[in-house]
Amino acid sequence: MPEGAVYVAPFVCGVFAVALVSIAGAIFPNRAGYLSSAMAVVTFAVLAWLWQDGGGTFNVAWAATLDLRLHFRLDGLAALYGLLASGIGIAVLIYSTRYLPLHLKHESRPIQDATRFFAFIVLFMTSMIGLVMAQDIILLFLFWDLTAIASYFLIGYDQHKREARSSALMALLVTGISSVLYIIAAAILYADYGTFSLPALFENAQPGSRLTLAAALIAVAGLAKCAQIPLHFWLPRAMVAPTPVSAYLHSAAMVAAGVFLLERFYPLIATSTILLNALLVIGMVSMTIGGILALTAPALKRILAYSTIAQYGYVVFMLGLGGEYGVSAASFYVIAHGLSKSALFLTAGTATEATGQDQLARLGGLLRSMPLLAVGSGLAAAGLSAFPLTIGFFKDELLFKASLERGTFFATFAVFGAALTLAYMWRFWRGLFLGPVRTEAKPVSPVLVWPVVILGILVFAGGLFSGGVAALAAAAGEAALLRPTPVEVAYHLDFRDVNLMALATYSLGVLIIVTRRWWESAARAMADAGRRFGPEYLYETSLAQLNRFSERMLEFEVRDLRRRVSTIFVPAALLMVVGLIVSPFPGEFDIGIVRRADIPLMVFLGLAAVAAFAATRPARHLPLMLALSSVGFSLAAVYAVLGAPNVALVAVLIETLLTVILVGMLTLFPREIREAMINLEIPRGKIQRDSIIGLVAGLFAFVIAWGALSRPSPNQGVSAQHIDLAPEAHAGNVVTAILADFRGLDTAGEITVVAIVMIGIVAFLRPRTAR
């Protein structure tokens, strides 16, 4: 075994889990949930154990000629995000073992569909682990796209709903198009530094405009994935997914991957203050707008979605702050947020399951019927609102510390953002559990309550024993910054700045809550305006316009055969014109001398030309076809004259087969239709237009052929080599030796394609009874 193979064990566990869940789940769909929960536990345990041991590196060549390596490293960042993805995964998967059968029943789908859900969740977890451990830009990209694909299937899990499909597509497009930016950045970096390896890159990176450009492209990819404004709109739409999917993707996995990317490439991003300032601004905008939208959104899950945008806005804000605290504080924040937010999403799922309602206005007073859930989610909400004795207190403490380092303005802003969080969390929790009972709750299974409670207890426990989380965050900060950073969290009962800021947050939060009456209409108007003119509107219109454009193109192209031919030939001719204009002209078009031996050749070429002209005359179909095929036969004769018997043979055979098939097709048409087609009156303008198109296309094909023939072929050497090698390959026939031996792989590929096309034909045309 290669050195360090043990460090890919968590990833291998995940791959094994995907296979196991898909195969075993196909046989026992009822067990897929338990199986995947167990596998998540195993993965989490292996990861934790390896991290306890200090982590390490696994590095083997994968495609050495392309400079690609399987390079994984379990460092602080990888441990943090990997443990988060698998740990929250356990809670969500256990919750789903009960939730999903109910969900499938509501949607009247068979239980067999459960397997797909669990397999994709586990696939997401696995690709997340691969992503965080990858130390190679291309490897990282593979896992990055794998998460996008898995999220597409998870968000669109209720595929019979149109909204689910379009939301899944939106998430895929927004995060997928931005991952194209990532690959462009990878190309820039490789061109400049000649390596895909991240450690080597960080070592050699020179600050400069090209590096800034690459880092900016990567940052956009990350920001799209963690739903930062203006690329945030896919996240609220993704709430059509089953609740466990939202709980997983939008608390601990998909959005976390976005921030992870920013942290992983932080050494590159941090070389440019412009980029850091851009992150600051984007973070602040996302915090504000996400917070305000969360204060107005009517649906439970939407509140949480906007809250996620705002919370990741904090994280991006902290990364933008930079400095000693920013990165490790951001890492700490991701853990605290992941724990709280997944619990809150699961709460929303349970409440909806119990009452059948998903709008806040129709819910309330659930405290009496579901006290445990109220306590669990209360702890989580308190954590997100940064109350003391929860892990959230420290996340805000670190936020305040980091922002103070940059100045009063940023500190004030941090307080404002935290106060918004407090306000919408209160709105969410109070709306669910206090007030009058609006919809009676049915009793629910304890499996739908206990994961929330346990996550809530973890949020609480994190506030008492925060050392482990702080150590992990410090390790992650070190991995991102490439130098040690301290994370110190503790309670101090005095009036230091950070504590005063916390007090200010609570008072401002309460103020926002009690003054709701005054600002509510303004906030709603803002939300409305955003929906109507914001980036989502832009996305929708541009998608619609693109669709319309492509439909128009298609309609233009396939209306009739002439159009189809001309859409190929006319642009080709135009490209030729461009090619002629930009390339040097003289010497390109030689006119050779005509020797006596060339006369037979000229005769056959002349015949081909005559036949081609004959084919343009209107006539009955059979003569037309024969004229066309005689063009082919004349050209075959040209090959024969040139001394290429095998090529001539193939040309003759293909021409024969085509003629026979065409005749066969003709016999399939009823006679009346054939007569009608002959007597069809073609408008004069159409004939003229088609002639011009034909002439233009022919002229430029002629020019390009002339240009190509004026120069000796650069491949002459290869042909000579083939001829020389033929006897050694025991071949008397060079062409066959090329097909079956020298270029045999090409042939193998081609016949494979032919076989696949055959499958397609059979699938389309087989008798309907057999379908």
Partner 1 sequence: MTTILTRMIARLLFPVTLVVALAMLIKSYVSVGDGFSAGVIAATGVSIQYVAFGYRDVEKRVPWLRFAPSAAFLGLLLALTTVFVPALRGDAVLTHLPRPGNEVTHLGTVELLTAVAFDVGVFLVVVGFTVTALSMIGRVAEEESS
Shortest distance in whole angstroms from residue 745 CB to partner 1: 6
In the bound state with partner 1, the residue whose beta carbon lies nearer, of 285 and 729, is: 729
**Could you tell me which stretch among 83-91, 155-163, 606-614, 664-672 binds partner 1 (CB under 8 A)?**
664-672
Pick from 244, 186, 291: nearest CA to 452: 244
In the bound state with partner 1, the residue whose beta carbon lies nearer, of 579 and 645, is: 645
CA 712, CA 318: separation in Å to the nearest integer?
63
CB 311 within 8 A of CB 218: no
Q: How many residues are present in the chain? A: 771
Shortest distance in whole angstroms from residue 484 CB to partner 1: 49
In the bound state with partner 1, the residue whose beta carbon lies nearer, of 587 and 760, is: 760
**663 interacts with partner 1 by CB under 8 A:** yes
Among 500, 657, 676, 677, binds partner 1 (CB under 8 A): 657
Query: Virtual CA dihedral for 298, 304, 305, 309, nearest 10 degrees?
Result: 120
Core vs surface per residue 549-584: b (16+ CB within 10 A) or e: eeeeeeeeeeeeeeeeebeebeeebeebeeeeeeee
**770 interacts with partner 1 by CB under 8 A:** no
**Could you tell me which stretch among 278-286, 322-330, 414-422, 662-670 binds partner 1 (CB under 8 A)?**
662-670
x-marked contacts with partner 1 along 605-644 as a string, rule CB under 8 A: ----------------------------------------
**Could you tell me which stretch among 82-90, 274-282, 305-313, 740-748 binds partner 1 (CB under 8 A)?**
740-748
- Residue 116's contacts (CB-CB under 8 Å, 6 or more residues apart) are 153, 157
**Could you tell me which stretch among 229-237, 272-280, 336-344, 744-752 binds partner 1 (CB under 8 A)?**
744-752
Among 15, 430, 646, 674, binds partner 1 (CB under 8 A): 646
- Residue 547's contacts (CB-CB under 8 Å, 6 or more residues apart) are none
Burial class of residue 343 in the structure, from the number of CB atoms within 10 Å of its CB (0-12 exposed, 13-18 middle, 19+ buried): buried
Shortest distance in whole angstroms from residue 725 CB to partner 1: 8
**709 interacts with partner 1 by CB under 8 A:** no
User: CA end-to-end span of the chain, whole Å?
Assistant: 49
**754 interacts with partner 1 by CB under 8 A:** yes
Which pair of structure tokens corresponds to residue 760?
Answer: 């397609």
Shortest distance in whole angstroms from residue 729 CB to partner 1: 6
**Could you tell me which stretch among 155-163, 390-398, 493-501, 645-653 binds partner 1 (CB under 8 A)?**
645-653
x-marked contacts with partner 1 along 214-253 as a string, rule CB under 8 A: ----------------------------------------
In the bound state with partner 1, the residue whose beta carbon lies nearer, of 705 and 748, is: 748
Shortest distance in whole angstroms from residue 746 CB to partner 1: 10
Phi, psi of 391 (to 5 degrees): -65, -25
CA 536, CA 542: separation in Å to the nearest integer?
10
**728 interacts with partner 1 by CB under 8 A:** yes
Shortest distance in whole angstroms from residue 628 CB to partner 1: 17
**552 interacts with partner 1 by CB under 8 A:** no
Tokens 């851009």: give the residue.
278
Pick from 541, 314, 516: nearest CA to 421: 314
Residue 74 carries which side chain, given as an amino acid letter?
A: L
**188 interacts with partner 1 by CB under 8 A:** no
**661 interacts with partner 1 by CB under 8 A:** yes
Among 653, 705, 709, 720, binds partner 1 (CB under 8 A): 653
Core vs surface per residue 274-303: b (16+ CB within 10 A) or e: ebbebbbebbbbbbbbbbbbbbbbebbbbb
Secondary structure in 3-state letters for 154-214: HHCCCCCCHHHHHHHHHHHHHHHHHHHHHHHHHHHHHHHHCCCEHHHHHHHCCCCHHHHHH
Shortest distance in whole angstroms from residue 664 CB to partner 1: 4
**671 interacts with partner 1 by CB under 8 A:** no
Q: Residue numbers of the site for partner 1 (CB under 8 A)?
A: 645-646, 649-650, 653-654, 656-657, 660-661, 663-664, 667-668, 670, 728-733, 735-737, 739-741, 744-745, 747-748, 751-752, 754-755, 757-758, 761-762, 765-767
